[in-house]
Amino acid sequence: MSENVKRKKQARLLRILRKIHRSTGAMLFVFFLFVSITGLMLGWKKHSNGYILPKSYQGTSTELGEWLPLDSLHKNACRILHDSVSKDLSTKLERIDIRKDIGMLKFVFADEYWGIQLDGKTGQLLHIERRRSDFIENIHDGSILDHFFGTSKEQIKLVYTSIMGLALLTFTATGFWLWFGPKRMRRKKTEQ
């Protein structure tokens, strides 16, 4: 195969890759914008002075044997949520974070992104928090759409993360070749 034919094939490949790179970027522009902004926010969440990720407050005892029973602490957190935030909020839990090392429990509620921090020993309220980091994470990974549409097994998140992961892989491969291909062609041309 002659060098001229090889160069034409490489140039054709570069045109195809450029088209794939450009069209993928145009189709997914809004999604990349959301992923990049929310990714930056999540990266900085621990350095947001409690705005994105609430500070964890210190309880009075790190000895689990001195703590109140979990069901009592849960009832207390639900009562505080209704008394201090809104009686209309669901008390369905997403998770309970137990921070033994600082004597605190965090009750994170599934709806509306609220959290209640309690002292494990006394059951006293340490902090009521708006879980902005959870909201941002749900936008970042697409699970906010599962929440909005009420899907049960995070189907939208799975499709969204698959598309975004494959798009990033496509951008990486085509971007590399769009950078490297012309250099390779110029080098071969000078060698002739």
pLDDT digits (tens, 9 = 90+) for 53-103: 999 999 999 999 999 999 999 999 999 999 999 999 999 999 999 999 999
Regarding whether 178 and 153 lie in a shared domain, the answer is yes
Total tally of structural domains belonging to the chain: 2
Regarding whether 36 and 71 lie in a shared domain, the answer is no
Regarding whether 76 and 96 lie in a shared domain, the answer is yes
Cβ neighbour number for residue 9 with a 10 Å cutoff: 11
Regarding whether 79 and 17 lie in a shared domain, the answer is no
Regarding whether 124 and 71 lie in a shared domain, the answer is yes
Regarding whether 73 and 7 lie in a shared domain, the answer is no
Q: Which of 27-31, 47-51, 140-144, 156-160 has the lowest mean pLDDT?
A: 27-31
Regarding whether 25 and 8 lie in a shared domain, the answer is yes
Asked if residue 5 has pLDDT above 90, the reply is no
Mean pLDDT of the chain: 92
Residue type, 50: G
Please give the residue that has the higher pLDDT: either 6 or 192: 6
- The answer to whether 130 and 90 have CB atoms below 8 angstroms apart is no
**Final residue of a structural domain among 76, 99, 130:** 130
Tokens at 158, concatenated: 């799975």
Regarding whether 66 and 85 lie in a shared domain, the answer is yes
pLDDT band at 1 (very low <50, low <70, confident <90, very high): low
> How confident is the model at residue 71, as a pLDDT?
97
DSSP per-residue string spanning 15-45:
HHHHHHHHHHHHHTHHHHHHHHHHHHHHHTG
Task: In whole angstroms, give the CA distance from residue 120 to residue 56.
Answer: 13
Asked if residue 185 has pLDDT above 80, the reply is no
Its domain, for residue 40, covers: 1-49+139-192
> How confident is the model at residue 22, as a pLDDT?
87
CB under 8 A, 24+ apart: contacts of 18-23: 18/174, 18/178, 20/170, 20/174, 21/170, 21/171, 21/174, 21/175, 21/178
